[in-house]
Each structure stands twice: as C-alpha cells, then as structure tokens.
Amino acid sequence: MLVAMVIENMLCDLGCDAVTVAATAEQALARIDAQDFDVAMLDMNLNGVVTFEVADALAARSVPFLFSTGSTGIPSNHAYADRPTLTKPYQYQQLAAMLSELLAHEPPNPLREQFARR
C-alpha cells in the first residue's frame, strides 16, 4: 500500500483530478463498473492475482491503460504484450511521459493538456 500511496501522490502532482486506488482485482473491477476513467494504471499483480481480467474490463470500455510491474513484464506472446509497461522502480518523468503518450492518442480531455505542459 505504501507504493500505491507514492504513485497516487505522483499522479496528483501530475495534475490528475481524481485518483482511484484498488488493492485487489475484485476492487478494481467494481470501481471500473462504478465510474468512468480517462486513463488507468494497472499493477500486473494485485494481492497475488495477475490482473489480465481487469485489463480486459478496461479494454472493453476503451479506457487507455498501462501496466506497472515489479517483475519482468508481459510475455511477448500475450495479447497485451504491446501495452505500455512501467517497470518498478520508475521515475516521475517516466510516468509522466507514458501517461502523456497514452492521452495523446485519445479524444480531447482536460488531463491531456496538463501532461502536455510537463
């Protein structure tokens, strides 16, 4: 949870108006069902569960997302192998660049302007 708090602070510093954190895949799926997201950052492992089901839910809703992982990443033959991935530990600038890239390919939204200035 400490790492989640650090990431949440980084996202707030980047200008995110609302940051939603989930500690489990079940919590993440419930939050995806309950609200809309401009972009998502998904840890590949939430409380011991690989989160491809959560990725499927985000993709089904056309939410741009990236993975965050402390491991080697997604196997090259996996359906999400081309998804942007940050490997922990990562720097503030890496997070900002990756989110900016994700938002640059999406329809206009207020967050894109925030990241474009960084």
| pLDDT for 107 | 52
Q: What is the residue range of 107's domain?
A: 2-116
pLDDT of residue 47: 84
User: Domain with 24 in it: what CATH number?
Assistant: 3.40.50.2300
pLDDT of residue 8: 82
Averaged in consecutive runs of 10 residues, what is the pLDDT profile of the chain (118 residues)? 77 83 92 92 88 93 90 80 87 89 66 46
Contact assessment for residue 16 and residue 92, using Cβ atoms and an 8 Å cutoff = no
Interatomic CA distance for residues 100 and 58, integer angstroms: 18
User: What pLDDT score was predicted for residue 106?
Assistant: 56
Q: How far apart are CA 54 and CA 36, in angstroms?
A: 14
pTM above 0.85, yes or no: no
Per-residue CA distances from 33 to 17, 57, 110 (Å): 19, 9, 22
DSSP type of residue 68: E
Structural domains counted in the chain: 1
Question: Residue 67: its pLDDT value, please?
Answer: 93
